[in-house]
Structure 1
Amino acid sequence: MSWNTEATRRKLLEAATAQFADVGLAGARVDAISREAGVNKERIYQYFGDKAGLFAAVLAAEVEHLLDGISVTGSGADAMGHVAGALHDSAAAHPHLARLLAWESLELSEPVSAERRAAGCAAMVASLAEALPQHDRTHVAELVLSLISLALADRCLPHVATLVAPGSTASSRRAAVVAQARALAAVGG
């Protein structure tokens, strides 16, 4: 019987994504990941080297694509609102993403896939800079960081979100993120 390497890797990555999102690199256990995946833990070492290699693979697979599929349409406040809404939707569709980004920042001294991710961020900044010609590129880069923060805040800080805005719903939060992003477009830089 031949071994389906890709299916095994996918099972391990899925189980590890959940484990790392919940407890981070330090808290995750190889035994728990392999048990959840239904795969011998030796496969983790064979495919990823060690737990840190598996964490890096999860981050690369998940957070590397934060801005993928998000395009800038329109100009000015419309463009900012569109990007913010798309980021919020992406975070809602991938609820583990914000936690993985937080764990990466807490536990690693360098970001995973930094070169590729920086290129994606630079492309987003360039596209948004075209839509916001009144702002210089440095200010637009700060705006993109603010958009990402707005879109991920309630996912990364759910307890704070509950305390500050207890009646907030997914649709009201999305509307607030879009409105705040639109307002940011008017702020000079």
Structure 2
Amino acid sequence: MAWDTERTKRQLLHAAMGEFCARGLAGARVDRIAAEAGVNKERIYQYFGSKNALFDAVIVAALSTVMDEVPIQGRGPEAMADYAGRLFDHHQNDATVPRLLFWEGLERGHDVVGLPARLANCAAKVDSTLTALPGISREAAGDLLITIVTLCDAAPVLPALDGLMAGVVPGRAGQRRAAVVRTVLLTAEALSSEQSQRRPARAE
């Protein structure tokens, strides 16, 4: 029977997500990933080349999933606030992306491989923000997005800090979600207002 290469790659990616989320890039072990996937670890090097390249592939796959599952919909500041709320909910249900991105930032800093897929994902998200808030600059759209991502990604990976600052109380996740949505709404409204003020007045 022919070896199902694509199935094996999917198994390795799934196993690697769990390993990288739990232990980061430096702490992850290819033998554990291979054992979890049920294949020989040589398959990792055959299909991905290295542990670093596998880490890149895992992040690309995870981010692509979020792109599909949590799109920006509608127009205006409310659309960006709605996006923030849905992204917050997604990460509360599945903290894979926040954990991977925090590990990446801690272990790599600015040294991130500029994979075309990641660059395309980011560009597409900025384009969607510009559609929702027409007229704002691309830099402003990027700043708004990184603010949203930072707020939503922090919630599942900084639970101890959240508890220390806000207290461990029933319904805390809902309160935090409301704060995130409110912050994004106010920021998006401010950006839209600034753009409106910059428009030249039409002649009477």
The alignment partner of 1:54 has SS state of helix
User: Which stretches in structure 1 are left out of the alignment for 5+ residues?
Assistant: none
* Cross-structure match for 2:173: 170
Would you say the 8 A contact 2:75–2:131 is kept in 1? no
* Cross-structure match for 1:147: 148
Rounded Cα–Cα distance in structure 2 between residues aligned with 1:31 and 1:131: 45
* Cross-structure match for 1:30: 30
**Aligned pair count?**
188
Deviation per residue, 1:146-177 (Å, 9 max, x gap): 11111111123222122223225333332222
Q: Percent identity at matched positions?
A: 43
* 2:86 is the counterpart of 1:86: yes
* Cross-structure match for 1:119: 120
Structure 1 31/161 Cα, relative in aligned 2: closer, same or farther at 3 Å?
A: same
Would you say the 8 A contact 1:63–1:100 is kept in 2? no
Rounded Cα–Cα distance in structure 2 between residues aligned with 1:66 and 1:105: 19
* Cross-structure match for 1:18: 18
Structure 1 57/123 Cα, relative in aligned 2: closer, same or farther at 3 Å?
A: closer
TM-score by length of structure 1 reads 0.85
Would you say the 8 A contact 1:30–1:51 is kept in 2? yes
* Cross-structure match for 2:183: 180
Rounded Cα–Cα distance in structure 2 between residues aligned with 1:123 and 1:58: 19
* Cross-structure match for 1:41: 41
Structure 1 112/59 Cα, relative in aligned 2: closer, same or farther at 3 Å?
A: farther
Higher-Rg member (1/2): 2
TM-score by length of structure 2 reads 0.79
The alignment partner of 1:187 has SS state of helix
Q: Which AA in structure 1 matches 2:76? A: S
Q: CA RMSD in A?
A: 2.3
User: Which stretches in structure 2 are left out of the alignment for 5+ residues?
Assistant: 195-204
